[in-house]
A and B are shown apart, each in its own frame.
Chain A
């Protein structure tokens, strides 16, 4: 697998170099810093008293290989100190033997980055090769752990291009690594087999962030001198066709911050089981942040992060988080613009209903088709309302597919050039 990955990387790099003269290839190196929230929360809570830790990372990216396509290779490190324990019926007995855990995932991500404007959202997916070690004193042969395992990685974020060579931004990265946890030790006691988790990080990028020109959006005439790169470049309007329909101006990108309400079939099922608990006395609600990179007037790539929280007298804060990506289609002929989208990704749920003896936490697959309407109030500001149907595999809570209906109302900021 390593050899195949290496060959694929070399192939992509060769293709990238060959196309550089035609497509204005960009490149960057970056560092990241931020917390990682591990999926195996009970396991790491037991040995370290926490399931999250700050980590650092660095990497490089080849940008705009073709129409915004990028390939990103990132290495990060996470170190957690704890102690060996014994677990009996959920009770953890620390044994005063230090335990040092280190994870070094190498992520190879292929994705799309918006190539115009100062705010450049991006998203993608790929593989993660994770090197995992576990060491403790007085170890004999076979006591310590040193393994590598391949998994999946998904990435989404946004960069603010401060200068043509410096960018700052924030990103979310999700890894799903199986094959290391669950076969022994504390992870087996708690039945947790996912080593991955969600990482939130601030990111500083240095490199050739802004190509001198992007042929797909702003073809420059060969006979005219190319304007110098400015600190705040304004993407050029696509050259109008000599005849035919007038091009529809559209923003390079847009971000919607919305309030959301949901219905949740798993919660209704729990309410049916225990009607005396009045579980339907409140509605899950929360927020969502949706960023779309528009590649055509009618088409864009969307990355969305949502969070919903359900509180009540009988509930121990049930929360669901999602990270999803997918295509968005929108009709922009008027100020009132209907749109539709299909997003797929991951959902993280945790919480409990103590009176039912229910406590859960885990990751699930999420699929969310939906649509709505966007009203442009000004060139830079709009309102947006949407209705989505969301399906969660929901192994964490109900053990079966959960259906959610989601209603959102929010403010949309149009950014980048038109």
Chain B
């Protein structure tokens, strides 16, 4: 049986463990933009390929936070991937 790379000492031997990761609070556009980008990619995969339409969908279905409508603290609110991908029916 051939040794693997870890057995030969090329890599430190690590076992998966959640205790190795500490919860932390991170904020700002660096954290927000990947979430928004992911939702944008999902909308694109649904056939909404117009960038302006993708932006409109993300804003339209965001969960409003803080003052009603857009505000400087929360922007348009919390991105809601499910609502954006589900779109609209006739009444809702």
Binding site for B on A (CB under 8 A): 40, 43-44, 47, 84-89, 91, 93-97, 99, 101, 132, 134, 136, 138, 142-143, 145, 147, 180-181, 183-187, 189
Contacts and interface: CB of A to CB of B under 8 A. Distances in A.
Interface stretch (B3-11, B26-34, B44-52, B71-79): B44-52
A208 to B, nearest CB: 42
Nearest to A136: B89
Interface string B52-92: 11001100100000000000000000000000011111111
B57 A88 contact: yes
B82 to A, nearest CB: 8
A94 B85 CA distance: 10
B48 A134 contact: no
Contact of B90 (A44, A97, A142, A143): A44
B91 A93 contact: no
Residue from A88, A136, A142 whose CB has the most chain B CB atoms within 10 Å: A88
A99 to B, nearest CB: 5
Contacts of B56: 88-89
B87 A86 contact: yes
Contacts of A43: 90
Nearest to B55: A88
A180 B57 CA distance: 24
Contact of B47 (A93, A99, A101, A147): A93
Contact of B89 (A84, A88, A96, A183): A84
B11 to A, nearest CB: 43
Nearest to B47: A93
A185 B86 contact: no
B89 A186 contact: yes
Nearest to A85: B87
**How large, as a class, is the contact surface on chain B?**
10 to 19
24 contacts: A40-B90, A43-B90, A86-B57, A86-B87, A87-B88, A88-B57, A91-B50, A93-B47, A95-B85, A96-B46, A97-B87, A99-B90, A134-B89, A134-B90, A134-B91, A134-B92, A138-B86, A142-B92, A145-B90, A181-B90, A185-B91, A185-B92, A186-B89, A187-B91
A85 B90 CA distance: 9
A185 B90 contact: yes
A198 B55 CA distance: 38
B50 A88 contact: yes
B53 A88 contact: yes
A335 to B, nearest CB: 56
Contacts of B91: 132, 134, 145, 147, 180-181, 183-185, 187
Nearest to B49: A93
Contacts of B52: 88-89
Contacts of A145: 89-92
A355 B14 CA distance: 71
B53 A47 contact: no
Contacts of A184: 88, 91-92
A84 B53 contact: no
A86 B90 contact: no
Given A84-B88, A99-B90, 20 more contacts: A47-B89, A84-B86, A87-B88, A88-B52, A88-B53, A89-B56, A93-B46, A93-B53, A93-B87, A94-B47, A97-B86, A101-B90, A134-B89, A136-B89, A142-B92, A180-B91, A181-B90, A183-B91, A184-B92, A185-B88
A47 B90 contact: yes
